[in-house]
Amino acid sequence: MSATAATGTIDETASPARSPSRLAWRRLRRDRAALVSTGFLAFLLLAVLPGAPLLGKIVGHGPNDFFPSAVDVSLKPTGPWSYVADSAMVPPPPGTGKTLLVLGADGPLGRDELQRLLYGGRVSLTVAVGATLLALLIGTTLGTLAAFFGGWIDSVISRFTELVMAFPVLLLAIMLGSTVAGKLNGVTLGGALNQGVVSLILLIGLFTWFYPARIVRSLIVSLRAREFVEAAEMVGSSNARIMRTHLFPHVIPALAVWATLAVATNIMLEAGITFLGVGIKLPTASWGSMLAATWGTVLAPLPYNPSSFSPWLTILPSAMIFLTVLALTLLGEGLREAFDPRGGR
Amino acid sequence: MTTVGYVLRRLAASALLLLLLTLLTFTLYRAIPANPAGFLVDLSPGHAPSPEQIARAEKALGVDKPLWEQYGLYLWRAVHGDLGLAYEGTTFVPLTNERTGQAVAPAVLHAAMVTGSLVIGGALFALLLSIPLGAIAASRPRSLTDRTILVVTLIGICTHPLVVALLLQQFPGRQWGIAPASGYCRFFGAAQTTIDPATFRPALGCAGPGAWASHLVLPWITFALFFLAVYTRLVRVRMIEVMDEPFIRTAAAKGASRSRIVRHHALRNAMSPVLALVGMDIGLALGIALYIESVYRLPGLGLTTLAALNGTVGFDLPMILGVVLAIGLVIIVLNFAIDLVILWMDPRAAQAGTRRTAVGRVV
């Protein structure tokens, strides 16, 4: 108390020292688009993680249950908020109760569209986040090694990166996915993940680690020659310690921005790979497989039938993908500006 | 001296890329247990062909030799322009141990023409729209026009190309009947009945420039919408940067009009990173083409690959290798051409050495 009183005159003029992360946080809080996006993403996580099973409890059926009475004679699924007979039999046995399909049915099989959207979102987000984490792990490690040791390690990693980046990632993922991933589809980590999730995470992660590797490498190459690294070397710090405590904190902002945008592109990649028939297998829902609901598969496209066609089955998963990707992109841009307000774009 | 060394190094890296890609594909698909002999004799349970029949089929397919010998033979034939015969639909030539079937090289060439029609037309669309849009947005930064263009392009970036393709196919294509919703027509030649490579259903053919263009309108728009967003933003950012440079002030001081400054001084200098991004995006464009070809059922490289991966018996390795080689070659040749164009437009790039600074994107 007395100490502040003694220095009171100085405190009024000098602004308190703020760490870079605190400054970034202050800037991010003023970015309305980033805040709305964060709110939407939090809502989505709540809806997808505890929300999906909760909804199942309330309406009393799961995302893979069939309701033939939710489909009319021309195989057109019912619209939103319809009560249908709670039975998988045709015709439903007498005395069957009714069950609620909040967003209607998902196609000729008559499954709950809203539940499939939520469970599908869970699968899509798991794949996107998992693949991003895997890419971060591989990319940060290899990028740090390349920048720190230089020489042949650097040239091998850099050349390899350039080679693979030139080739269409989607095509490689599909070619590899249809050969190798079949063996990994059974891996579910004790039932914690759906079939195909692990193989998609590996597939996407293994083809996208070049980006964090390049970011980390270029940042560390420029930091490597700075005085504080020299000072740490002089007092006898080990290489591992220098990387961990002196270099790594500097790359976190750039990696956070990349990771946010990467989750967005990975959601798109998952949808694309699954749409093309290589990713998540039915009956598991994912936003990619739901996109294909009105379209069929690559090998067997559904013939267009105006009487049973239901455009909302395409529009709902499309909207979910769009909103999630938009929110992640806005958040990523917000983070980029918060960490580096003068850095272009 | 440096130019020659640069070209030589690029050529060596390109040859290495092709070698690596084919080797990877080759070993990957040979390591799969499915026996390609199944394409010639029925291996399904209940048919049980004799070991002699299987051996005869393996010999005809050339898969009886050791792996490295198969690969060497493939490379030797490939440099002579012979990519072999596809597995899918192959049969024995009667009374011999030879097999006949669809030749891979012409099939891949035809598929490449389809993909080329899609990608080149779509890219022209995207560039011709994005350069003026970006320049307009940059001419008054933070104005209403600029913000509108930014928001619209942001929406474009965040929309999955599959979504655009499906919605365009559904509404203008099927329900409103403005343009054909699927299929492809040859530019040259007369109409003929063709077999859809994925569904094996016969389709009534069509041909001619008019039919070709009308079937490609929706695919072109889908392709362009995806790239329009990214390129408009890039042109805008570059134009804002370039308009700050001293030589623009000099031009203005000499009395050049604003439109002359934009067209003659700024755009030319803003173009080189745009072209560099075109070079980097060739791979991405082929990926996007895969989505578009699937939705609109264009028999291009992407649909050919998907059909070869989902064959009746197993993977159609010669076809897959052919597509991989074609894509590798296209990427190498186009990158090289774009490098030359950049050097011609902006000679400073020769000294800079590292022109690839834009952060890559994946879809």
Taking only the tens place, the pLDDT of each residue in A174-230 is 887 777 666 666 666 666 677 778 888 888 898 888 888 888 888 888 887 788 888
B41 touches chain A (CB under 8 A): no
Q: pLDDT class for A124, splitting at 50, 70, 90? A: very high
Nearest residue to A132 via CA among A214, A204, A189? A204
Q: Which residues of B, range 208-237, sit inside 8 Å of A by Cβ?
A: 237
| B303, amino acid identity | L
pTM: 0.83
What pLDDT is stored for residue A184 in this prediction?
A: 67
Nearest residue to B101 via CA among B191, B177, B39? B39
Contacts of A142 (CB under 8 A, 6+ apart): A157, A209, A213
What pLDDT is stored for residue A113 in this prediction?
A: 82
What pLDDT is stored for residue A41 in this prediction?
A: 92
Q: Are residues B321 and B70 in contact, defined by beta-carbon separation less than 8 angstroms? A: no
B132 touches chain A (CB under 8 A): no
Cβ pair B291:A272 closer than 8 A: yes
Q: Where are the alpha helices (DSSP H) in chain B?
A: 2-30, 51-61, 67-79, 104-139, 144-158, 161-168, 209-243, 246-253, 258-260, 267-280, 282-296, 301-309, 317-345, 348-352
A171 chain-B contacts, CB cut-off 8 A: 286-287, 290, 302, 305, 327
If one counts every other C-beta atom within 10 angstroms of the C-beta of residue A63, the result is 23
B175 chain-A contacts, CB cut-off 8 A: 306
CA distance A250 to chain B (A): 19
Percentage of chain B beyond pLDDT 70 is 87
**pLDDT per position as a tens digit, B7-60:** 777 777 777 777 887 887 787 777 665 677 778 777 766 777 777 777 878 777
B9 touches chain A (CB under 8 A): no
Mean pLDDT, rounded, for A259-269: 91
- Mean pLDDT for chain B? 80
Cβ pair A166:B199 closer than 8 A: no
- Mean pLDDT for chain A? 80
Tell me which of B27, B160, B330 to substitute to probe the interface with A (most A C-beta atoms closer than 10 Å).
B160
Radius of gyration of chain B (CA): 25
What pLDDT is stored for residue B32 in this prediction?
A: 67
Q: pLDDT class for A114, splitting at 50, 70, 90? A: confident
Q: Which two tokens stand for residue A153?
A: 């390690």
Q: Are residues A126 and A197 in contact, defined by beta-carbon separation less than 8 angstroms? A: yes
Is cis: bond before B49, omega within 30 of 0? no
Pairing mode of beta strands A82-85, B99-100? unpaired
A159 chain-B contacts, CB cut-off 8 A: 13
**Closest residue, chain A, to B359 (C-alpha):** A211
**pLDDT per position as a tens digit, A59-106:** 777 777 777 777 777 677 777 777 777 776 677 677 677 777 778 777
**Closest residue, chain B, to A264 (C-alpha):** B158
* B159, B297, B363 ranked by CB distance to A301: nearest: B297
Q: Which two tokens stand for residue B40?
A: 């010639």
B320 touches chain A (CB under 8 A): yes
A207 chain-B contacts, CB cut-off 8 A: 362
For residue B85, the cross-strand partners are: B103
- Position with higher pLDDT, A125 vs B279: A125
A163 chain-B contacts, CB cut-off 8 A: 13, 16-17, 20
The Cα–Cα gap between B272 and A279 comes to 38
DSSP 8-state assignment for residue B194? E
Q: pLDDT class for B62, splitting at 50, 70, 90? A: confident
A264 chain-B contacts, CB cut-off 8 A: 158
The Cα–Cα gap between B63 and B67 comes to 8
3-state secondary structure labels for all residues of B267-302: HHHHHHHHHHHHHHCHHHHHHHHHHHHHHHCCCCHH
- Between chain A and chain B, the number of residue pairs with CB atoms below 8 A apart is 149
CA distance B94 to chain A (A): 31
**pLDDT per position as a tens digit, A28-58:** 888 888 889 999 999 999 988 888 888 888 8
B12 touches chain A (CB under 8 A): no
CA distance B137 to chain A (A): 14
* B32, B237, B361 ranked by CB distance to A345: nearest: B237
Percentage of chain B beyond pLDDT 90 is 7
Q: pLDDT class for B187, splitting at 50, 70, 90? A: confident
If one counts every other C-beta atom within 10 angstroms of the C-beta of residue A8, the result is 9
B199 chain-A contacts, CB cut-off 8 A: 299-301
SS3 A186: coil
Cβ pair B286:A269 closer than 8 A: no
Cβ pair B327:A179 closer than 8 A: no
A345 chain-B contacts, CB cut-off 8 A: 237
Q: Which of A194-198, A222-226, B189-193, B355-359 has the lowest mean pLDDT?
A: B355-359
Q: pLDDT class for A344, splitting at 50, 70, 90? A: very low
CA distance A345 to chain B (A): 6
CA distance A233 to chain B (A): 31
Give phi and psi for B256, each to the nearest 5: -70, 145
If one counts every other C-beta atom within 10 angstroms of the C-beta of residue A12, the result is 7
SS3 A83: strand
Cβ pair A208:B362 closer than 8 A: yes
- Position with higher pLDDT, A143 vs B311: A143
What pLDDT is stored for residue B191 in this prediction?
A: 67
If one counts every other C-beta atom within 10 angstroms of the C-beta of residue A243, the result is 19
Give phi and psi for B47, each to the nearest 5: -100, -35
B335 touches chain A (CB under 8 A): yes
Nearest residue to B319 via CA among B87, B38, B70, B73? B87
Q: Which two tokens stand for residue B185?
A: 């027509």
| A41, amino acid identity | L
For residue A64, is it left (φ>0), alpha (ψ between -120 and 50) or beta? alpha
What pLDDT is stored for residue A182 in this prediction?
A: 63
SS3 B140: coil
For residue B207, the cross-strand partners are: B186
B138 touches chain A (CB under 8 A): no
- Residue A247 pLDDT > 60: yes
The interaxial angle of helices A248-275 and B282-296, nearest 10 deg, is 30
Q: Are residues B65 and B73 in contact, defined by beta-carbon separation less than 8 angstroms? A: yes
Query: Counting beta carbons within 10 angstroms of the beta carbon of residue A69, is it exposed (0 to 12), middle (13 to 18) or buried (19 or more)?
Result: buried
The Cα–Cα gap between A94 and A96 comes to 6
**Closest residue, chain A, to B329 (C-alpha):** A167
Contacts of A132 (CB under 8 A, 6+ apart): A205, A208, A259, A262, A263, A266
If one counts every other C-beta atom within 10 angstroms of the C-beta of residue A136, the result is 22
**Closest residue, chain A, to B159 (C-alpha):** A322
* A165, A275, A329 ranked by CB distance to B360: nearest: A165
- Residue A2 pLDDT > 50: no
- Residue A27 pLDDT > 50: yes
| A108, amino acid identity | P
* A159, A166, A180 ranked by CB distance to B331: nearest: A166
